[in-house]
Amino acid sequence: MRDEPAFISHGTVQDGHQYLETATVLPLAVDQVFGFFANAENLQRITPPELAFHILTPTPIDIEEGTIIDFRLRLFVVPFHWRTRIVQWQPNDQFIDEQIRGPYRSWRHLHTFTECEDGTRMTDRVEYRLPLQPVGALVLPLVRRQLDRIFRYRASTIRRELARDPQS
């Protein structure tokens, strides 16, 4: 089975909002895959090392609707703080996190988990808007390439981590 997502697509939604959608099939039950995401510390494990991702919120974090998670990372060598809120939490089905503070004008990430013939299909749909429009549109191709790389790394790492220890 390939280490990367089944697909990654990009597009424009409306009013300058962009989207990224990707799906990965994992040969595990939905509860095992969702359980991996229920542990916020795994976010650090699935983020490319050059982003210097670090969770600032004390762990362990009990994730539920309304949970706020603070982290620090570096994007294009610029360090910044990101704060996200879990706005929807439906175990073994889906969850949504939204940026409260960070590099994007807006960021909403829907994670869905569905049973399929080969295990679990994990789908991510991110709708985001770049800051400083219309100037921000000039960096859109660079942002899309970076997001592709991040989500490919993420898919590969999730597959490897869950293969090693499905109870992570």
Residue 149 lies in a domain: yes
Residue 2 resides in a domain: no
Phi first, then psi: what are they for 11, rounded to 5°?
-175, 180
Q: How far apart are CA 154 and CA 3, in angstroms?
A: 10
Q: What CA–CA distance (Å, rounded) separates 40 from 38?
A: 6
CATH number of the domain residue 75 falls in: 3.30.530.20
Query: So what's the pLDDT on residue 3?
Result: 55
1 domain-assigned: no
Tens of each residue's pLDDT in the chain, 168 residues: 455 566 899 999 887 799 999 999 999 999 999 999 999 999 999 999 999 999 999 999 999 999 999 999 998 788 999 999 999 999 999 999 999 999 999 999 999 999 999 999 999 999 999 987 777 778 889 889 999 999 999 999 998 988 876 565
The answer to whether residue 65 is domain-embedded is yes
Residue range(s) defining the domain that contains residue 130: 7-164
Give me the DSSP letters along 131-147: SSTTGGGGGHHHHHHHH
Q: Is position 120 within any domain?
A: yes
Secondary structure of residue 80 in the 3-state scheme: strand
Domain count, the chain: 1
